[in-house]
Structure 1
């Protein structure tokens, strides 16, 4: 498993990426609600996860938390892909980047 400080830095980077995508969803016009809802939930949960990781001593608990976040990222990615032409490229790229960051973090932990 990663060192604790490395994990916290990676999670902060992922959190910033997710927060940026969620903020873009909030300000976007005519965005499908499932995309907006997925990103809002992911933004809330990743903040909670960062706090949990800072206090967690159990590696399995940290892995499970990141796995849960990655599943939310999958839902956001799927919602984004199903929206077809309802998202501009910049927003779509932000959501996909957030998904990639979560996926990469999950694979680094396993």
Structure 2
């Protein structure tokens, strides 16, 4: 298991990555509804990070990260489906998903 300070640092990095994806989302005009939904759900989960971290429950943190990684994988799949999305959108989603994968792997 990761030390608490590393968990805090990774969660902070993750929140930034999700925030960048949410910003890219707001700049896009013609996004598929499912991509918009995935990113909004990720943003909502990201908002819950602080409250779960305060509980010091690593099992709940691991579950949240696993749930977020699944949503991130779905968002990444939509981005790589050939739809006309901006480079900023694709980059933000890829970065966010990479952060989630790395965090999830290190949690185990």
TM-score, normalised with respect to structure 1:
0.89
Q: Which residue of 2 aligns with 1:89?
A: 87
- CA distance, structure 1, for counterparts of residue 92 and residue 100 of structure 2: 13
* 1:38-49 alignment, distance < 5 Å: 38-49=38-49
Q: Which residue of 1 aligns with 2:64?
A: 65
- CA distance, structure 1, for counterparts of residue 50 and residue 101 of structure 2: 16
- CA distance, structure 2, for counterparts of residue 58 and residue 90 of structure 1: 34
- Deviations 1:50-72, CA, capped at 9 Å, x for gaps: 3212x233332221121111111
Q: Which residue of 1 aligns with 2:79?
A: 80
Of 91-100 and 26-35, deviating more is: 26-35
Across the aligned residues of Structure 1 and Structure 2, the Cα RMSD in angstroms comes to: 1.3
Q: Which runs of 5+ in 2 are unaligned?
A: none
- CA distance, structure 2, for counterparts of residue 81 and residue 50 of structure 1: 31
Q: Which runs of 5+ in 1 are unaligned?
A: none
- CA distance, structure 2, for counterparts of residue 70 and residue 56 of structure 1: 21
Q: Which residue of 2 aligns with 1:51?
A: 51
Equivalenced residue count is 108
TM-score, normalised with respect to structure 2:
0.90
- CA distance, structure 2, for counterparts of residue 92 and residue 15 of structure 1: 17
SS in 1 for 2:31: coil
Runs of 4+ with deviation above 3 angstroms? none
